[in-house]
Amino acid sequence: MNWKIPLVGTWVGISLLCWSALSWAAPWQQLRPVGQGEMHWLWFKLYDATLYSQDGRYAPRRYPQALSLTYARDIDRQDILEATAQEWQRLTPGDSQAQARWLAALSGVLPDVKAGDRLTFYVDEQGQGELWLRERPLGRIAEPGFSAAFLAIWLADNSRDPALTRRLRGQP
């Protein structure tokens, strides 16, 4: 009965392949959704947003967390950087040195996005952020305060779109 040995070897190979695929999964895929919503500018849909946490509940600065944005249209990275800088100036006025460091770090990893692209910002247990495009890591951002400041654009009480903030936080 020689057919059993190749079958066992195949089964082991398939098992190892599945284990390998799971071990390389993006880190936020282990998190649970908290809430989701859409961002619009005038009458244009910009993106769908989903917030994730370990237990499916939002708590400020309790990590890991991830924010995924699935874009509905093409947006140039420079436009994203400018909008991010404007939001940081609005949310944390007077902290221009930190904002300049944060923006420089973000500009080093941020791509142009196309309609259908999913950009995910994952924050690990230590508060270090990493940007992903689809399931591909773009880079880690280790600047102090960056992760909280970046997530605040969507999650702060005084965010630009309070209704989206409430939906992302899982609030009514």
Task: Tell me which residue has tokens 């495009």.
Answer: 133
Q: Stretch 83-112: mean pLDDT, rounded?
A: 93
At residue 94, the pLDDT reads 76
Average pLDDT over residues 60-77: 96
Give SS3 for 15: helix
Mean pLDDT of the region 154-169 = 96
Sketch the domain layout of the chain as residue ranges: 26-168
State the average pLDDT over residues 32-37. 97
Q: Give the helix/strand (H/E) hosting 144.
A: none
Q: Which two tokens stand for residue 138?
A: 């773009």
What does the DSSP 8-state code read for residue 110?
Answer: P
Is the separation of the CB atoms in 150 and 140 below 8 Å? no
Distance CA 72, CA 58 (A): 25
CATH-assigned architecture of domain 26-168 = 3-Layer(bba) Sandwich (3.50)
What is the average per-residue pLDDT within 86-114?
93
DSSP label of 43: T
Q: Which helix (H) or strand (E) holds 51?
A: strand 44-53
Q: How many other CB atoms sit within 10 Å of the CB of residue 109?
A: 17
pLDDT exceeds cutoff 50 at 12: no
